[in-house]
Chain A
Amino acid sequence: MKKAILNAWPSVVVGDRNQWQSKLTLELTGLPEEIRFRALPDNAGTNTGLKPAHAAGFAAGLSALCKDAHRYRFTLQGVDLVMAEDDIVVADGLIKLVRVHPGRHTGPGNMSESLPQIHLDIFTEYPLPEQGDKLAVDIQQTPGLPATVTFSFSRKPLRDLLGGVRIGIDPGHGGKDKGIQGPVDLTEKYVALEISRELCNLLELSGAHLVVTRTGDLDVTEKERLHILRAGNPALCVEIHVSGSDNPLAQVYKLAATQDCSDSQLLGREIALALHERMGIRPESAVLPPRPGLEVPYVRVEPLCLTYFADEANFRAPLFRKRLAQSIYNGISRYLHKTKVRQS
């Protein structure tokens, strides 16, 4: 049986000593002879060689996803591919995409010999951390059938970016105020709270300080929400709702940003882009009136159309909720990165 890669999948784990890592795990029929690494030039522009999107509804615009990405290549010598050559959309806030594709290597001396080799091209949001002059990546190889090779990358860049930042999260509705009702049984107040819980989890892991208007099924008036947010002094605010329509087949998504506030517009654009990349949805833009006493970048996100039966059904899957929350998180972290770069 030839040595080949069967399977590759990304994950995010919190390990010992609060180590927060993005991992890429490969399953193979045998371990590679050698693993080589190099950073590639940061020109992930039009000629990435990426395939066009499979469908409008998912991972649309792979080239846009990897625009401005940092690129790293791991080459596994002596293995082939059984799995399909693939672009694996990761979008976990650190790693955007992993491209698995074959290369060819000419053996030493004899030009006619060639060993199989497989490239893993990793596209990242931010430069990966280094230890001295080496990339800080941990590679674990486990023999067996299947054998595994796991690449672990520290998510420190996200902690550096978000650590200490105060972020306001406002899940809409609550208590007697159910909001929009889905065709089966889900309510807007429940969906908004679940998305905010997942989002808060990610932000807390990143070291952000959270100002949350409700953490349970509670009646919270508009006045109380404003008071909580003002008292918390956040650097930015995200309000979470869902959208709906009288047409049961309509798929409507919205993202509103505070009028005449360029930072709000930027935050809104980054979240909208992240939702499009990962969820394949294009939220309609809208404007929000300024909130009195809260002069910070402020957006209202409606990433789910609850009256559309497929969206309601999809939301029951925990992984779908995590993906929604991850998209909003990605938008927030990119916004903070851009404003940090602008200030420096």
Chain B
Amino acid sequence: MPYRWSEQNTAILRIRTHLITEKDDPVDVIDKYTKAIAAPGDLVGIAESVVAIMQGRAIDPDAVKPGILARLLSRFAHPDSSVSAVRSMQMAIKEVGVPKIMAAALCALVGKILGIKGLFFRVAGPEVAQIDDSGGTMPPFERHIILGPKHPDRVARQVWKRTGLWTLILDVNDKGAVDILGSSLPLKPHQSEFIKHVLRSNPFGNDDQKTPLILIKFLKPGAGEIPGPV
């Protein structure tokens, strides 16, 4: 059966959860909140920061000791960038290593001269791009540094095996940017475009709205059916 993902066919349901911590498991959380309302073929999305928190990747800044390189490089980061804070830069160095960060910094310098933006994160890689410093995360993690989730595709597949729901690990912001970090199944280009389009209004919200989970329901029968076994 061909896929028929279109915006007219869908409803986005946002689900308010309990306060999720490192004691929670992504598969249990998604199963708990979707089993009463999800149907085969629905998509479930979960915010990447919440997956990271459950994986113990919310770092207490008091535990981070910034080195000389972090102090130096953070000064050159844009003030709004997550690595402008020295402790976040230190975590970036820890995530990808000194050589890669140095290469990224060098490319950023070249980029600045040539007028090309974003080279630092492009070279440093998604692990650094996904670091969230304080600001925008809800309490009690509002002072923590949130790293990106580990193995997001694997997490998404684990959820699918338990629930039968195609799961997406997502990074969405209020500016309409949507990154799909993990998926239970490989996404075709038109499917990625569909997801980015329907989520551009950031249904996860920010601040302390506690809606890290969304269900994309397909309203017409068969509209979301996935061919083949789970």
Q: Contact residues of A with B, CB < 8 Å? A: 1-2, 4, 6-9, 27, 29, 54-59, 80, 82-84, 86, 89, 144-146, 183-185, 249, 280, 309-317, 319-320
Contact = CB atoms under 8 A, between A and B. Distances in A.
19 contacts: A6-B15, A7-B15, A9-B211, A54-B19, A54-B140, A57-B142, A57-B143, A58-B139, A84-B17, A145-B11, A146-B11, A249-B61, A280-B139, A309-B86, A312-B85, A313-B134, A313-B135, A314-B142, A320-B207
B175 interface: no
A27 B136 contact: no
B61 A310 contact: yes
Contacts of B11: 144-146
A75 to B, nearest CB: 19
B150 interface: no
Contacts of B143: 57, 310, 314
Tell me what chain B mostly uses at the interface: helix, strand, loop, or mixed: loop
B135 A59 contact: no
Residue in A89, A280, A313 with the greatest tally of chain B CB atoms within 10 Å: A313
Contacts of A6: 13-16, 37
Interface in B32-79: 33, 36-37, 39, 61-62, 79
Contacts of B134: 309-311, 313-314
Interface string B201-221: 000011111110000010100
A83 B139 contact: no
Nearest to B209: A9
B158 to A, nearest CB: 22
Contacts of B15: 6-7, 82-83
Contacts of B133: 309-310, 313
A320 B16 contact: no
A59 B139 contact: yes
A83 B16 contact: yes
Contacts of A316: 80, 135
B18 interface: yes
Contacts, number: 108
A306 to B, nearest CB: 13
A30 B46 CA distance: 23
Nearest to A84: B18
B157 interface: no
Interface in B96-117: none
Contacts of B6: none
B33 A82 contact: yes
A314 B135 contact: yes
B219 A145 contact: yes
A309 B142 CA distance: 12
Contacts of A309: 61, 85-87, 133-134
Interface in B118-154: 133-136, 139-140, 142-143
A83 B16 CA distance: 5
B37 A4 contact: yes
A75 B87 CA distance: 48
Nearest to B19: A54
A136 B33 CA distance: 34
A184 B85 contact: yes
Nearest to B39: A1
A300 to B, nearest CB: 25
